[in-house]
């Protein structure tokens, strides 16, 4: 997966990647980009689909996308019940739908359209990510989850998560495009602070994550990177993509990235240290995700949900998890959900925050 990305570095010029699949190749310390779009049916009143619609599915391991949606590892409410991570981070960007989070630090959250959750697993966390069906009609879930590596000296960090509410995330609107600034400064707009031990918290990382919604005939400019080592990848797809590939259309999405045209469900890896790059969308509305960072420059060993520097460290991490369960899971269920609650976050069992009471929308 990394080979084609490294070609851009070796050749010193942009390199088109193969069509995007279930997991997208990514630059620098970004380990994976995973996209989920599920057109869930109406909720049954228990945040779950009608049980009749679950017939024929292998509950607890349903990734079939039957009828346009999967239960994943859920048995009633779809999603991912309690599971461990160590040595890495997850960054979850929600475009449609709602996610209920609970973890082994006694933290919990419900977040939704436009919100971003950033979790540092560090020395070990157990968390649950469930997708409650809150609507009495179709419940579309549309989200991106980025897996981001940690430097070796941050892999022992205390687990931490931060909620980035849509009301507080900078959004820039200009020339027919809207840029959501998740990480990395864009056109003078500073992002919210990531977790303290994140690679993104280091000024030298030059890490950025920008989500750009482009209307027909719109343009957007990517600023120059801040170092000659910064790797950058630009992903393009339609605004209502299929679950695992491009839409069938007589007018497919195409976005010009510099001098290259990038079609629906494709990506372009730019040369390290790329200068200013113009994006132009001459056709249908399109989504563009931009990720960039200086590489960490350390060995990477991945075993399931653990990311360490060596395979022995992964084996040791599994031994610790089997012994301690990373402190256990202090919830009555391994798949906590929050009924009809509004969006909220509660950190380590502390006071509950609700974003609408704290922030007002800030749009340039």
pLDDT tens string 236-283: 998 876 544 555 566 788 999 999 999 999 999 999 998 999 999 988
CATH number at residue 176: 2.60.120.10
| DSSP reduced 3-state for 291 | strand
Give the neighbor-by-neighbor strand order of the sheet with 254-257: 218-222, 277-281, 254-257, 260-263
Do 159 and 283 lie in one domain? The reply is: no
Do 153 and 185 lie in one domain? The reply is: no
Do 176 and 247 lie in one domain? The reply is: yes
List b or e across 79-117, with b for residues whose CB sees 16 or more CB atoms inside 10 angstroms. bebbebbbbbbbbbbbbbbbbbbbbbbbbbbbbbebbbb
Span 322-331, pLDDT tens digits: 999 999 999 9
Do 38 and 153 lie in one domain? The reply is: yes
Classify residue 1: in a domain, yes or no. yes
**Domain containing residue 127:** 30-42+80-168+304-333
Confidence of residue 20 (pLDDT cuts 50, 70, 90): confident
Give the total number of structural domains in the chain: 2
The Cα angle at residue 44 between residues 39 and 46, in degrees rounded to 5 = 110
d(CA 328, CA 316) in angstroms, rounded, equals 18
Q: What is the pLDDT of residue 13?
A: 65
Q: What is the pLDDT of residue 361?
A: 40
Do 94 and 109 lie in one domain? The reply is: yes
Mean per-residue pLDDT of the chain = 92
Do 156 and 186 lie in one domain? The reply is: no
Query: Given a cut of 90, is residue 10 above it in pLDDT?
Result: no
Question: Which residues, listed in sequence order, are joined to residue 235 by a DSSP beta bridge?
Answer: 267, 289
d(CA 108, CA 94) in angstroms, rounded, equals 17
Span 41-51, pLDDT tens digits: 999 889 999 99
Which one has a higher pLDDT value, 312 or 23? 312
pTM reported for the whole predicted model: 0.93
Which one has a higher pLDDT value, 69 or 11? 69
Do 123 and 227 lie in one domain? The reply is: no
Classify residue 341: in a domain, yes or no. no
Q: What is the pLDDT of residue 235?
A: 96
Question: Which residues, listed in sequence order, are joined to residue 229 by a DSSP beta bridge?
Answer: none
Do 185 and 144 lie in one domain? The reply is: no
């Amino acid at each position: 997966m990394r080979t084609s990305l490294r070609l851009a570095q070796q050749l010193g010029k942009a390199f088109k990647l193969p069509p995007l699949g279930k997991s997208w190749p990514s630059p620098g310390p970004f380990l994976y980009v995973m996209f989920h779009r599920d057109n869930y049916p109406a909720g049954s009143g228990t945040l779950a689909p009608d049980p009749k619609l679950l017939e024929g599915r292998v509950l607890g391991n349903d990734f079939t996308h039957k009828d346009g949606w999967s239960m994943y590892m859920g048995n009633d409410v779809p999603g991912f019940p309690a599971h461990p991570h160590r040595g890495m981070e997850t960054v979850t960007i929600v475009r449609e739908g709602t996610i209920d989070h609970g973890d082994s630090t006694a933290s919990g959250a419900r977040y939704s359209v436009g919100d971003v959750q950033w979790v540092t697993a560090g020395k070990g966390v157990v968390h649950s990510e469930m997708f409650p069906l809150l609507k009495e009609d179709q419940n579309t879930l549309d989200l991106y989850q980025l897996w981001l590596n940690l430097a070796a000296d941050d892999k022992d960090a205390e687990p931490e998560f931060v909620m980035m509410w849509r009301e507080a995330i900078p959004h820039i609107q200009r020339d027919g495009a809207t840029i959501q600034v998740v990480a990395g400064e864009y056109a003078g707009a500073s992002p919210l602070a990531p977790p303290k031990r994140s690679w993104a918290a280091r000024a030298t990382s030059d890490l950025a994550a920008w989500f750009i919604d482009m209307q027909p005939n719109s343009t957007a400019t990517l600023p120059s990177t801040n170092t000659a080592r910064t790797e950058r990848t630009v992903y393009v797809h339609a605004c209502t993509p299929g679950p695992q590939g491009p839409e069938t259309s007589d007018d497919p999405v195409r976005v010009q990235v510099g001098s290259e045209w990038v079609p629906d469900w494709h990506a372009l890896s730019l040369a390290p240290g790329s200068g200013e790059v113009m994006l132009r969308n001459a056709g249908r509305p399109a989504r563009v995700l931009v990720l960039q960072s200086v590489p960490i420059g350390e060995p990477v060993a991945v075993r399931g949900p653990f990311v360490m520097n060596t395979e022995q460290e992964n084996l040791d991490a599994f031994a610790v998890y089997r012994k301690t369960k990373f402190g256990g899971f202090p919830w009555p269920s391994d798949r906590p959900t929050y009924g009809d609650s509004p969006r909220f976050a509660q950190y380590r069992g502390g006071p509950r925050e609700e974003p609408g009471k704290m922030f007002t929308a800030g749009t340039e």
